[in-house]
Amino acid sequence: MGHTAEAATDSSTDDPLLDRFRVLPAANIGDAMDRMGLLHSSIQSIWPGGTLVGTAFTVWTRAGDNKVIHEALALARPGDVLVINGQGDESRALIGELIGARAKVNGIVGFVLDGVARDADMLMGMEMPVFARGVTPAGPFKHGPGFLGQTIAVGGVAVAAGDYIIGDADGVAVVPRAVADQVATAAEAVFARETERRAAILAELA
Ligand SMILES: O=C([O-])CC(=O)C(=O)O
Ligand SMILES: [Mg+2]
């Protein structure tokens, strides 16, 4: 069985919470967490319209070095997002289109980098969402060290393995796994209330 078939049947992608988060704005999810759990505003989709929802596979890598990211690609499960602390370094891209393509084949649904990426056009072409501090053509070194699966800091927020990651046009929200159901319920209420208020305001145009 190929990795793509695996991705379609893996239980981690059947989680109903993923579908609930998929239709909620990151802003509403943040409001449901006392407006906390939102990454620094400089971490944004590197291509227009990129969005993602998945579970965190955490990676800590030395600034400007992606040796451990190659290991992560082989170990992450379908439905995972590679969430990477690269110490906010903007001098060298931690990932590009080749890593993006490998991720796609393995069922990984996207990347969140406290660092930068490259090959943005090709990542857009393969619809591989990447949220990062920006882009640079400068490539990474491949020496290590790095760590997998530990709780890490990304964009000023702690992320543990298995936390829910939601990225949209505003940026990225992180929902701790232990409170995810409550947060989804509260965010659905925020969304419903704001939908109603927005409609009432716009009705003044009519
Ligand atoms: O060279 C690298 O490791 C990063 C890169 O451009 C790619 O993954 O395509
Ligand atoms: Mg490349």
Nearest to 182 by CA among 52, 81, 37, 69: 37
Nearest to 78 by CA among 106, 101, 111: 106
| Burial (CB count within 10 angstroms: exposed 0-12, middle 13-18, buried 19+), residue 94 | buried
How much is the pLDDT for 12?
A: 59
Whether 119 lines ligand 1, by a CB cut-off of 6 Å, is yes
Query: What are the boundaries of each domain within the chain?
Result: 3-205
Whether 65 lines ligand 1, by a CB cut-off of 6 Å, is no
C-alpha 60 – ligand 1 centre gap (Å): 17
Whether 96 lines ligand 1, by a CB cut-off of 6 Å, is yes
Nearest to 165 by CA among 10, 28, 9, 29: 29
Give me the residues near ligand 2 (ion), CB cutoff below 5 Å: 96-98, 119
- The mean pLDDT value of the chain amounts to 94
In this structure, the residue with its CA closest to atom 1 of ligand 1 is: 139
C-alpha 98 – ligand 1 centre gap (Å): 6
Query: H/E/C letters for each residue in the chain?
Result: CCHHHHHHHCHHHCCHHHHHHHCCCHHHHHHCCCCCCECCCCCEECCCCCCEEEEEEEEEECCCECHHHHHHHHHCCCCEEEEEEEEEEEEEEEECHHHHHHHHHHCCCEEEEEEEECCHHHHHHCCCCEEECCECCCCCECCCCEEECCCEEECCEEECCCCEEEEECCEEEEECHHHHHHHHHHHHHHHHHHHHHHHHHHHHHC
Nearest to 114 by CA among 23, 42, 187, 53: 42
What value, to the nearest 5°, has the Cα angle with vertex 62 and ends 70 and 117? 65
How much is the pLDDT for 7?
A: 41
Count of positions (residues) in the chain: 206
Q: Which two tokens stand for residue 121?
A: 């056009």
In this structure, the residue with its CA closest to atom 7 of ligand 1 is: 96
Residues of the chain below pLDDT 50: 1-11
How much is the pLDDT for 14?
A: 87
Nearest to 47 by CA among 116, 128, 109: 128
Cβ neighbours for 144, distance < 8 A, ≥ 6 positions apart: 61, 62, 65, 67, 68
CATH class of 3-205: alpha beta
Which atom, in ligand 1's list, is nearest to the CA of 118?
6
This prediction's pTM? 0.94
